[in-house]
């Protein structure tokens, strides 16, 4: 039976979809049979970041409504045989989701795949609720700033009280923080919250720190998840996060300010 991982945050624009896409590719690269599901019904984006937007025929809501089989709706990734994408509907809205419908899809995916990644929409409404409801583990994406931290706190609280695991009295959803858009320079200057600040407020350990970098945006625009860019710090940081999610120990990289050389200091870097 596969493991369900929700990627969530509460706040929008913190990097949930970027993270979902990169984690999915990372797990696939490590040999795990992986599927990544877009729960942002009506505002789908995951297909773009994964670079399969022109191959979406059927979507999540079609499967719920019985218009097609789950197999027909799964889009096979061109880079990895063991990776699939289930796109969200662009024409319907989140009211199309029903508890039984979502449960059926999740259970079928769980039987078929090792890892099921649920890409949650922002907010705490229906789509976000269903994305987290079935989760075994949660990767809470948080930016090092106060509003993102507060929203993540709220989402962690909802997960602890309203998830299926909480309702059935099973062991709690395992929580991880993934800090994105992190700038070690700005932390050193005191403009940005540090890893320790965020961990202390939320009481959850950080599983990865993704540095703020221009490669992240260009990777998203070209439909190649940044984890596949082995030159980019952000890509390597995601690779480390995947390894840690698989239980390996990796030292945190890219969390210290870059020391500038003499010429850079003289002439600006």
Site string for other proteins, 137-156 (x = CB under 8 A): -------------x--xx-x
Least spacing, CB of residue 3 vs other proteins, in Å: 23
Which residue in the set 33, 137, 197, 201 belongs to the binding site for other proteins (CB under 8 A)? Answer: 201
Least spacing, CB of residue 146 vs other proteins, in Å: 9
Q: Is 123 in the site for other proteins (CB under 8 A)?
A: no
Which region among 34-42, 44-52, 161-169, 207-215 touches other proteins (by CB under 8 A)? 161-169
Whichever of 158 and 255 has its CB closer to other proteins, that residue is 158
Rg (CA), the chain: 18
Residue 177 near residue 204 (C-beta atoms within 8 A): yes
The residue among 193, 212, 95, 117 whose CA lies nearest residue 152 is 193
Q: What distances in angstroms separate CA 243 from CA 163, 187, 189, 219, 224, one per listed residue?
A: 26, 25, 30, 21, 20
Whichever of 24 and 156 has its CB closer to other proteins, that residue is 156
State how far the Cα of 139 lies from the Cα of 10, in Å rounded to an integer: 12
Q: Is 169 in the site for other proteins (CB under 8 A)?
A: yes
β-pairing verdict for 83-86 and 75-76: antiparallel
Q: Is 189 in the site for other proteins (CB under 8 A)?
A: no
State how far the Cα of 122 lies from the Cα of 110, in Å rounded to an integer: 24
Which region among 39-47, 133-141, 199-207, 232-240 touches other proteins (by CB under 8 A)? 199-207
Least spacing, CB of residue 189 vs other proteins, in Å: 22
* Percent of residues in the chain assigned helix, strand, coil, to nearest 5: 45, 15, 40
Q: Is 252 in the site for other proteins (CB under 8 A)?
A: no
Which region among 37-45, 66-74, 131-139, 158-166 touches other proteins (by CB under 8 A)? 158-166
With 0-12 CB in 10 A as exposed, 13-18 as middle and 19+ as buried, what is 248? exposed
Q: Is 166 in the site for other proteins (CB under 8 A)?
A: yes
Which region among 102-110, 195-203, 218-226, 258-266 touches other proteins (by CB under 8 A)? 195-203
The residue among 53, 160, 60, 42 whose CA lies nearest residue 116 is 60
DSSP state, residue 228: G
Which region among 110-118, 157-165, 182-190, 257-265 touches other proteins (by CB under 8 A)? 157-165
Number of Cβ within 10 Å of residue 1's Cβ equals 9
Which residue in the set 160, 243, 252, 255 belongs to the binding site for other proteins (CB under 8 A)? Answer: 160
Q: Is 13 in the site for other proteins (CB under 8 A)?
A: no
- By the criterion CB under 8 A, which residues form the site for other proteins? 150, 153-154, 156-158, 160-161, 166, 169, 200-203
């Amino acid at each position: 039976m596969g493991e369900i991982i929700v990627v969530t945050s509460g706040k929008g624009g913190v990097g949930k979809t970027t993270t979902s896409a990169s984690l999915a590719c990372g797990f696939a690269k490590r040999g795990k049979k992986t599927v990544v599901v877009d729960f942002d019904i009506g505002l789908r984006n995951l297909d773009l970041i994964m670079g399969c937007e022109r191959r979406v025929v059927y979507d999540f809501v079609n499967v719920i409504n019985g218009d097609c089989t789950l197999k027909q709706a799964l889009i096979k990734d061109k880079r990895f045989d063991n990776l699939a994408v289930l796109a969200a509907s662009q024409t319907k809205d989140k009211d199309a989701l029903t508890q039984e419908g979502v449960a059926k899809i999740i259970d079928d995916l769980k039987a078929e795949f090792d890892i099921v990644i649920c890409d949650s929409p922002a907010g705490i409404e229906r789509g976000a609720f269903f994305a987290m409801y079935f989760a075994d583990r949660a990767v809470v994406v948080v930016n090092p700033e106060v509003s993102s931290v507060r929203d993540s706190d709220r989402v962690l609280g909802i997960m602890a009280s309203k998830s299926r695991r909480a309702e059935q009295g099973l062991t709690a959803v395992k929580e991880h923080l993934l800090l994105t858009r992190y700038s070690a320079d700005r932390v050193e200057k005191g403009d940005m919250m540090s890893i320790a600040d965020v961990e202390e407020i939320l009481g959850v350990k950080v599983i990865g720190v993704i540095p703020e970098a221009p490669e992240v945006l260009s990777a998203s625009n070209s439909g190649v998840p940044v984890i596949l860019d082995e030159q980019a710090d952000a890509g390597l940081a995601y690779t480390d996060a995947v390894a840690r999610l698989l239980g390996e120990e990796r030292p945190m990289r890219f969390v210290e300010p870059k020391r500038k050389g003499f010429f850079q200091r003289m002439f600006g870097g």
